[in-house]
Structure 1
Amino acid sequence: MKNNTARYFCILCLCISINLSFAQQKAVPVFKDGEAQIVKAFNDPEHWIRHDLWVETEFDTDGDGKLDRMHVDVTRPDQTETEGLKLPIVYESSPYYAGVASDVPGLFWNVNHELGEPAAERVHPEVIRVGKRPVISNSQVKKWVPRGYIVVHSSSPGTGLSQGSPTVGGDNESLAPKAVIDWLNGRAKGYTTPDGTETVSAFWSTGKVGMTGTSYNGTIPLAAATTGVDGLEAIIPVAPNTSYYHYYRSNGLVRSPSGYLGEDIDVLYDFIHSGDESKRAYSNKTIRDTEMKNGMDRETGDYNAFWAGRDYLNDMKPMKAALLMSHGFNDWNVMPEHSYRIYKAAKDKGLPVQMYYHQNGHGGPPPMTMMNRWFTHYLHGVDNGVEQDAKAWIVRENDSPNEPTSYADYPNPDAKPVSLHITAGGQKAGELTLSKPTTTTQETLVDDASFSGDSLANLAESNHRLLYVTPTLTKDLHVSGLATLHIKLASNKPAANLSVWLVALPWNADINAPITDNIITRGWADPQNYKSIETSEALKPGQFYNLTFDLQPDDQIIKKGQQIGLMIFSSDNNFTLLPKAGTELTIDLNGTLLELPIVGGENQFKAAIH
């Protein structure tokens, strides 16, 4: 009897011990197949702690003599408060969280004027700020908090409840997220109010931060990374604007982003300026009406110190964060060159890099599994082999965005430039051929912006464009990389637009199909900048100039049964300034050459046209 009692007591103690062990077990991140998994204990919004604060920066850009503070919100599992759990951070910053200006008449610059002439002053709207504390944004929260991350947002300078001035790519837009990351690592001060002295610490942070976002929200992670701030381990920019010159100019030409004809950097400034109404007058005078007005130069479109200061390629030296980028080959808003140039520079620096390209337009993040693996490795420290994955992932035509094809790199390492010459007949359709013309030939087009690019490509004959086509392809042809145009031309006026489309013909006749189905890539240039994008000079009517520039990067499989067409015209009514019709551009065919990057090179091209 005594033995049974003792045995029962021991079993009871063991059960109590086991139950206590389970009761005391703490919630922690869980990983499977190299990815952070949704944890039940983190997946209940009722048990998330949400609060906001202001982080002090190292700059004063609103003229009040005090260091600007950035408004920050935090969403974290309550285990970070009750169980001492520390987690890494997914951080997104934006100028858009507190609302933007209305699209009022006159917001954009008038584009209907002669090249080189100033346009009439435009309208400056006021932004009505929206939003309620403590939540700045809900983006990223449902995706990452259940997987064992803390999500942080901040409004960029001069927007929402963040102090300072928006500068659209100025240094403060890099230093602002740096300050937040410094605070997450205990190196900067956070306060409970914008002007008070009560401090807030990020005691729940491991100090490891990853940033992501799309468009402007994708630019800011890169801006932060170029500061070299400790703790920013990885970034995933989606369709980021990496150079405001390349956003609003092309090879010396004033060019708008698609869908926003007449937008320029000062328009974007007005669009996002949702900060303190009492500070706006100072910011408008200092940034918009002085720095931007004197630097943006809509008359020449030249690259200058103002634009160089808003080109993140110039600031890459301190960067050390791992980089996963995403972009669409048919993004005519923030064009694909933006990610290509940064990806290449980061790769050349020896940083961990991956590139995800898809065939659609603006936006489109990488598949969740790619993002998850990236952050799991670089923020949680899980050895999942992501750094050994393929460098390039491309969504092939008609494939699901979640099923990209892997390649060793981008451009495709097997792509080689194939030199294609043009032969006479461009008002109808000349040839795009491997054979160089044997006779000197010139052809002329007449500018008329009332014709859209797609209508010109559809016309059987037109004197408003020159079109040169390959033979009909008998096999699929894979184009990958940068097409380069070498063109010799003359103008009958001192200034002219130059627009170039590379198209797949015949044109898709389905009125419901997007125009991008037929556009392989595009490019624009100012012939006045034939020497460099920094220097322009008036053209001497009738004199020929040699100009070389790249079209937008692409990776596309042109199907058999199609022809590749090079279309040269002047004003592009979706992108350029629109002068009166009548400017004549004369092309010297012998001095014009298209270098097309083809996987398999010239032999593959020959096989595809026979």
Structure 2
Amino acid sequence: MGRISRLWRAGIAVLPVAALAVVGAAPQALAIDTPAIVVQDGVTQPVFGYADAIRERLFIDSTFDSDKDGLRDIIAFDVMRPKATANGLKVPVVMDASPYYSTVCRGNESECKADLDGDGLLDKWPLFYDNYFVPRGYAVILLDMVGTNNSTGCPTTNANEDNLSAKQAINWLNGRATARNAAGQVVKADWHNGKTGMIGKSYDGSLAMSTAVTGVKGLTTIVPISGPTEYYDYVRSNGVITRGNSYVASLANTVTNPERRDYCKPTRDAMAAADGDETGDYTSFWNERSYVKKVPNMTASVLLYHGLNDDNVRPDHFSKFWYALAENNVPRKLWLSQEGHVDPFDSRRAVWVNTLHRWFDFWLQGVQNGIMEEPRVDLERSADVWETYADWPVPGKAETEILLQPGTTGAGGLGLVPTAKPVNGAFQDNPTQSQNTMILNPDTVQPNRLAFLSAPLTAPLHISGTPVVQLRATADQTDTNLGAILVDYGTAERVNHRASGEGIITLETSDCWGETSPTDDGCYKQTQKRVATSDLELVTKGIMDAQNRQSIRIAVPLVPGEAYNYSFPLLPEDYVFEPGHRIGVIIVGSYSQYSSQADQTRANIEVALKSSNIVLPVVGGTAAAHAAGL
């Protein structure tokens, strides 16, 4: 008896790939050996083999020449697909394009691609996507970004050559490009159903987004995990350099195979010469490394994940992209966790795998499982405590102005420490001041900061969105930096995202997600949340170069002693200040633990207190702020 006949008699729904609907004909009317996707309980089932899956390594000519050698770069990618695709099964693709497969490698256990027997085909496939999805009727492609692993050329750190690498494979899948195997034979994707989903964390996530904003036909959905969306924001913030000089070139060096690093040095040197490190301003160099403004080109849906406490790819990357998706009505869902730069597979494993499975089934297999009718947002409020919302920012939030004022706390704003009534708050920029010095002992006057505190809150205060600090200030130098920190002063158990592991502890026990072969399994070490009781929480922060007060593109020196208005965003957040806690806003000059570029002017800065405030995105707006005692 054929597979379909057996499954039919067992009461399992069978979806022929062409129709993707429950078969209603009598069993004898079916072709006994017709390969088909199987759906039970609303999800595709693992009815195809893994050990016997077809494995290929293919090469495709690109449309660019990253190393300027006069030859178009060749993009390499590894394919795994069910054996049944050789007998008529049409399947979609799950693709992870990455620069990391032979250097940093992937996942919490740093898995690299590996050809163990030297036959030119992968034996070890990083991550669980192949183990889990191939048996369920998907093909998996792991693509080597230009200049990495088996691809030729040189990495360009999110420039066009990087960004267009995966597009070449999607064009091939849809019959618009030619791929060959190692023997030079042309290989066609006659097994593909026309739909591809891209997924990946960090750099891989940025490659998924950069491919989607090209509008390439055949890319149906993307799942970016903690990926940069604006590379300027990855290495800059409002005119301030936040990572070391020539970071763009340095990262390109990291992902290049060691034996090719000398060869690719001219490419890196060209990037270093063009990145504008001498000013930190936004230049044309960053335009091709910007995805947010290209969102209107997208046709792919988005399942977006980010850690609210990610200090590597900071949360403004997800928020700017998310806001643009909303403006353009892109079908979307969002997960926000309390961890740092952590994959949801290591944060909320079982629920994530189930969600990802249903997401791909809906968008790539056409399974009507209702996932798009569910709440749009999953948000981790505290360790392993998740809430759902209709959208983000949470509906009902309103931009609420909280004064930074002289005098006592709790009188409609945050009071300056001490509670005397000066007209201005004065402090001196200190480029060596530590973050702990900035935020600890808020009731104590310190010479290199201003501390504003609320009275103990009388009700919870929920913020959801992007806070903005608005200062009226003078400096006695032609330049200075400005920084602001929003702090929750109150004892609570919290995810300890600043310790090793960025909020998780990797255990010695493992669990398995998918099928196995003699050389590859789907088993991974389990994790648990790292929690600690602390007296405060740094909620969010922001910085700017005072010379970029008008624009990140143009620096305008200060006139010493002249007052200017400064407005700059903090990183987005979704946070609840509990009753009895105090809200603190710390104002500083340089912020060495946020920025690699401390301003050395050591300017004396005065803030006009009656003209300065923080605008908080308060759920419930002014009424909720007043109820909490602000």
| Pairwise TM-score range, normalised by the shorter structure | 0.7 to 0.9
* Structure-2 residue corresponding to 1:163: 152
Alignment of 1:560 onto 2:564? no
C-alpha distance in 1 between matches for 2:554 and 2:410 = 33
Alignment of 1:173 onto 2:162? yes
Number of equivalent positions = 546
Map 1:185-334; keep pairs closer than 5 Å.
Answer: 185-193=174-182, 197-256=184-243, 264-274=247-257, 277=260, 283-285=264-266, 287-290=267-270, 292-334=271-313
Map 1:165-564; keep pairs closer than 5 Å.
Answer: 165-193=154-182, 197-256=184-243, 264-274=247-257, 277=260, 283-285=264-266, 287-290=267-270, 292-365=271-344, 367-400=352-385, 404-424=386-406, 433-434=412-413, 441-459=423-441, 460-506=444-490, 513=532, 518-564=537-583
Cα shift readout 1:194-226 (whole Å, capped 9, x = no counterpart) = xx6421222222121000010001111111111
Worse-superposed segment, 292-301 or 572-581: 572-581
Alignment of 1:92 onto 2:96? yes
Alignment of 1:76 onto 2:81? yes
C-alpha distance in 1 between matches for 2:581 and 2:273 = 48
1:509 deviation in Å?
10
| TM-score, L = length of structure 2 | 0.80
Cα shift readout 1:19-67 (whole Å, capped 9, x = no counterpart) = 9999944553322343333x1433xx32222221112211222223222
Amino acid in the other structure paired with 1:419: E
C-alpha distance in 1 between matches for 2:461 and 2:401 = 15
Alignment of 1:138 onto 2:126? yes
Amino acid in the other structure paired with 2:54: I
C-alpha distance in 2 between matches for 1:509 and 1:41 = 45
Cα shift readout 1:381-402 (whole Å, capped 9, x = no counterpart) = 12223333322221222334xx
* Secondary structure of residue in 1 paired with 2:326: helix
* Secondary structure of residue in 2 paired with 1:396: strand
Amino acid in the other structure paired with 1:36: T
Alignment of 1:592 onto 2:612? yes
C-alpha distance in 1 between matches for 2:337 and 2:184 = 48
* Structure-1 residue corresponding to 2:513: none
Amino acid in the other structure paired with 1:265: V
1:268 deviation in Å?
1.0
Amino acid in the other structure paired with 2:265: N
* Structure-2 residue corresponding to 1:605: 625
2:48 paired residue among 38, 41, 63: 41
1:263 deviation in Å?
7.0
Q: Is the 8 A contact 1:158 1:276 kept in 2?
A: no
1:337 deviation in Å?
1.2
Rg larger for:
1
Structure 2: state its 5+ residue gaps: 1-25, 106-111, 500-531
Q: Is the 8 A contact 1:161 1:276 kept in 2?
A: no
C-alpha distance in 1 between matches for 2:411 and 2:235 = 31
1:358 deviation in Å?
1.3
Cα shift readout 1:286-339 (whole Å, capped 9, x = no counterpart) = x3222x233311222111111122111132232110111011111111111111
Cα shift readout 1:114-151 (whole Å, capped 9, x = no counterpart) = xxxxxxxxxxxxxxx98534228422212322322111
* Secondary structure of residue in 1 paired with 2:302: strand
Amino acid in the other structure paired with 2:70: G
1:275 deviation in Å?
7.8
Q: Is the 8 A contact 1:431 1:468 kept in 2?
A: no
The 1:474–1:228 alpha-carbon spacing in structure 2 relative to 1, beyond 3 Å, is same
* Secondary structure of residue in 1 paired with 2:327: helix
* Secondary structure of residue in 1 paired with 2:165: helix
C-alpha distance in 2 between matches for 1:226 and 1:316 = 5
The 1:602–1:188 alpha-carbon spacing in structure 2 relative to 1, beyond 3 Å, is same
* Secondary structure of residue in 1 paired with 2:289: coil
Q: Is the 8 A contact 2:466 2:617 kept in 1?
A: yes
The 1:439–1:572 alpha-carbon spacing in structure 2 relative to 1, beyond 3 Å, is closer
Amino acid in the other structure paired with 2:98: S
C-alpha distance in 1 between matches for 2:534 and 2:64 = 46
Structure having the larger proportion of residues in strand: 2
Amino acid in the other structure paired with 1:61: S
C-alpha distance in 2 between matches for 1:408 and 1:130 = 39
C-alpha distance in 2 between matches for 1:137 and 1:51 = 12
Cα shift readout 1:514-556 (whole Å, capped 9, x = no counterpart) = 9896011111111111111111122222222111111111111
C-alpha distance in 2 between matches for 1:567 and 1:591 = 16
C-alpha distance in 2 between matches for 1:97 and 1:342 = 26
* Structure-2 residue corresponding to 1:30: 38
* Secondary structure of residue in 2 paired with 1:41: coil
Structure 1: state its 5+ residue gaps: 1-17, 102-128
Q: Is the 8 A contact 1:308 1:314 kept in 2?
A: no
Amino acid in the other structure paired with 2:300: A
* Structure-1 residue corresponding to 2:603: 583
* Secondary structure of residue in 2 paired with 1:317: helix
Q: Is the 8 A contact 2:414 2:454 kept in 1?
A: no
What RMSD, in angstroms, separates the aligned Cα atoms of the two structures? 3.0
Amino acid in the other structure paired with 1:372: H
Misfit runs of 4+, over 6 Å: 18-23, 429-432, 435-440, 507-512, 514-517
Worse-superposed segment, 375-384 or 455-464: 455-464
Q: Is the 8 A contact 2:146 2:165 kept in 1?
A: yes
C-alpha distance in 1 between matches for 2:277 and 2:233 = 14
C-alpha distance in 2 between matches for 1:379 and 1:536 = 47
C-alpha distance in 1 between matches for 2:196 and 2:362 = 12
C-alpha distance in 1 between matches for 2:438 and 2:428 = 12
* Structure-2 residue corresponding to 1:66: 71
Q: Is the 8 A contact 1:479 1:556 kept in 2?
A: yes
